[in-house]
Amino acid sequence: MGWIISFLSDGLILWISYILFSIGFCSYIASKLVKWIPVIDKYKLLAEIAGIVFLIAGAYVYGGYNTEMEWRQRVTEMEKKVEEAELKSKEENVRIEQKVITKTQIVRERGQDIVKYIDKEIVKYDTKFMPGGECEIPKEFVNAHNKAAEAPK
């Protein structure tokens, strides 16, 4: 039923349901009034059954129409929610990108600071690393290495 409703206009579906319901109502009432007309009295059962069938058909079409309209309304609401979620997602993506850029800059700056520090400190211990000299790792290098391994704050 829903696929038929989707092809026809809303006004046409309402008119069809009203017409079916009206025919059914009139037919059912006519079947009750027919008992006074002897020629048509033999069609009383047929008119009563036809009236009930048309009433049910009209109610079915009208119910299908109302269900279709309710689903269309729900789809519209969900589309609005999806649009809002997309906007929030874009805003959050911008925030995340800014945080990533900031953290990347911090990591680069820390790396450059550590390289400068090591270059400055290596001059002090350069003579020890000469051939024949002692080969010990200074505490400053160990501390610099440990600071470099820490997570950026």
Distance spanning both ends of the chain, measured CA to CA:
62
| Residue pLDDT tens, the chain, 153 long | 555 666 667 778 788 888 988 888 888 887 777 777 777 777 788 888 888 998 998 888 888 888 888 988 999 999 999 999 999 999 999 999 998 888 888 878 877 777 777 777 666 665 555 565 566 666 777 777 777 767 666
Q: What is the pTM of this model?
A: 0.51
**CB burial of residue 82 (10 Å; 0-12, 13-18, 19+):** exposed
**62 and 21 in contact (C-beta within 8 Å)?**
yes
Give CA–CA dist 148/153, Å, rounded. 12
pLDDT score, position 78: 97
